[in-house]
Amino acid sequence: MTDTTAQTVPGKRSLLTLDDRTRRRNAAEARFRAYGLAAVTVALIALTLLLVSIFANGVSVFRQTTIAIPVTLDAKKLDKSGKLDPAVMAKVTTVGYAPLLTKGLQAAMEENGISDQGLKAKAIGALISQDAPAQLRDMVLADPTLVGQTISFEALASGRIDGYFKGRVTMDSAALDSNISPEQLALADALKDAGILHSRFNMGFITAPDASEQRPEAAGLGVAILGSLYMMIVVLVLSLPIGVAASIYLEEFAPKNRFTDLIEVNISNLAAVPSIVYGILGLAIFINFAGLPQSAPIVGGLVLTLMTLPRIIIPARAALKAVPPSIRDAALGVGASKMQSVFHHVLPLAAPGILTGMIIGLAQALGETAPLLLIGMVAFVREYPGAPPEGFFDPASALPVQVYNWTQRADPAFVERAGGAIIVLLIFLVTMNAAAILLRRRFERRW
C-alpha cells in the first residue's frame, strides 16, 4: 500500500506545513480583525447609548398636558365700552384674563365635585400655564363676538404639572419646590380622573415660538425651524452655482500651474478650518463692515455659504474626475467643443456625486452652531420672520442655536425641550442624507 502522506524533502518547506512565521502572520491578522470588530462594537454601543439618552429625555415633549376649562368671557371686564371695538378691548391685558381662567377651573371643579385640597384661588390658578391668558386674549381679539359667552378653552397646564405626569416631578420633589406643592399635584390627579386634565399631541412644539423661562410648557421651535429654512435657502442659492462652477473650472478648464495649485491647496485647507472662524469672519465683514442686521437669516446663510463652499467643491471635483476620459474623448471626436463635452456629457454623468456632496454639505451646515452664536442668532426671538425676501433680514433663530439656548436655562422642562429639538434636528439630517442616497442611486450610471 502506497503511503500518500506528504513527504518533506530535506532543505525545502512544504506549503501544507505552517511554519512559525506563517503562524505569527495569521495570528496578527486575527488580532487585527478582532481589534476592528471591537472598535465597531464600541462605536455602535456609544451611538446606541447616545440615541437612547436623547430619545429618553426628549420624546416626552411631543405629548403635552392640557386643561379643558369652561371660561365665561365677562363683558363688563373685557369690553367696558360695550361696542366690541378691538382697539378698546386691546387695552385689557393678560392680567384681566387670568382670573377668568381661574374662575372657570373652579367652576369645573364644583361641577364635578372635586375638592380644592384647601388651596386658595391663586394656587388653583397656578395649575394653568402663564401663557394661557395671552392665548385667550388673542382669541377674543380675533373674534370679539365671543365676549359675553361661555366657551370651552383648552389651556396648557403649567410646566410643573406637565412634568408631574411625565415623571419629572414627584410628591417628594414638590414638597421642596416653591413653584408647586403636593396639594396641587393631588388636585391635578383629581382633575385627570374627572377628564378635565388630559394629554394630547404637542403640535405647538413644532409651530410655536420660544417662550420665557416662566413658561417652558409653551416653548416651541416655530421660529427656529423657519430661520433654519431661510438660511438653507440662502446657502443653496449661493453655494450650488458657485461651488459647481468653481469645480468645473478647476477640473476641466484651469491650466495646471502654481496659481491653480495654490487655489486647490487653499480649498482643501478651508474645508478643515474650525467653523467658529467663519463666525468671526461673518461678524467682521457682514455685520460690522456691511452693516447687515444681527440675528438675521441672510447673515447666517452667508456665513454658512462660506463654510460650505469647500465641502461642495471637493466632492464635486471628485465626481467630475470619476467620469471616464473616454466620454470626453468621444464627445471631442465627433466634433463637440470643450464646453459642449463638459456640459452635455461630463456634467450629467457627474450629477449624482455633485448632488450627494451638495446635500451632505447642507446637512452639515444645518447642524452648525458656533458661527451662528457669533453673529447674534442666540438672541431670544418671539416674532416669526416675514415672507421672503423681507424675511431674510428679520430676526430669527436656528435649530442648533435653540438647542443651545434651552440647555442654558435652569428649569428642567427646558432639558426635555432641548432633547425634543435634537430629535427634530436628527430627523431633518437623516432625511437629507437619505435624499442624498436616493438621488445617487436614482441618477447613478455605470460605465
Confidence of residue 14 (pLDDT cuts 50, 70, 90): low
Q: Is 90 exceeded by the pLDDT of residue 13?
A: no
pLDDT in tens, 282-308: 889 998 898 888 888 999 999 999 999
Question: 331 phi and psi, to 5 degrees?
Answer: -65, -45
Name the β-bridge partners of 418: none
Full DSSP string of 356-415: HHHHHHHHHHHT--HHHHHTTTTS---SPP-STTGGGGS----HHHHHHHHHTSSSHHHH
Instruction: Kindly tell me if the per-residue pLDDT of 9 is higher than 60.
Output: no
Q: Average the pLDDT over each of 225-229, 297-301, 363-367 and give the range with the smallest value.
A: 363-367
Rounded Cα gap, residues 229 and 206, in angstroms = 14
Cα–Cα distance, 139 to 149 (Å, whole number)? 13
Q: How far, in Å, are 326, 328, 346 from residue 445 at the CA level?
A: 15, 16, 12
Residue 217 lies in a domain: no
Phi, psi of 290 (to 5 degrees): -80, -20
Residue 430 within any structural domain of the chain: yes
Structural domain for 125, as ranges: 62-211
Confidence at 4, pLDDT banded by 50, 70, 90: very low
Instruction: For residue range 230-245, list pLDDT tens digits in order.
Output: 999 999 999 989 999 9
Q: Please report, for the domain that includes residue 283, its CATH number.
A: 1.10.3720.10
Cβ atoms 197, 224 nearer than 8 A: no
Number of separate domains in the chain: 3
Which of 58, 80, 95 finishes a domain? Answer: 58
Co-location of 54 and 77 in the same domain: no
Question: Do 280 and 178 belong together in one domain?
Answer: no
Task: Tell me if residue 351 falls in helix, strand or coil.
Answer: helix
What's this model's pTM, rounded to 2 decimal places? 0.84
Domain boundary, last residue among 144, 176, 211: 211
Confidence of residue 331 (pLDDT cuts 50, 70, 90): confident
- Domain boundary at 211, 235, 254, which? 211
Whose cell is 530535506? That residue is: 10
Is the domain of 150 the same as that of 253? no
Question: Is 124 within 8 Å of 183 (Cβ atoms)?
Answer: no
Check residue 10 and give its pLDDT.
54
Cα–Cα dist 225/310, whole Å: 25
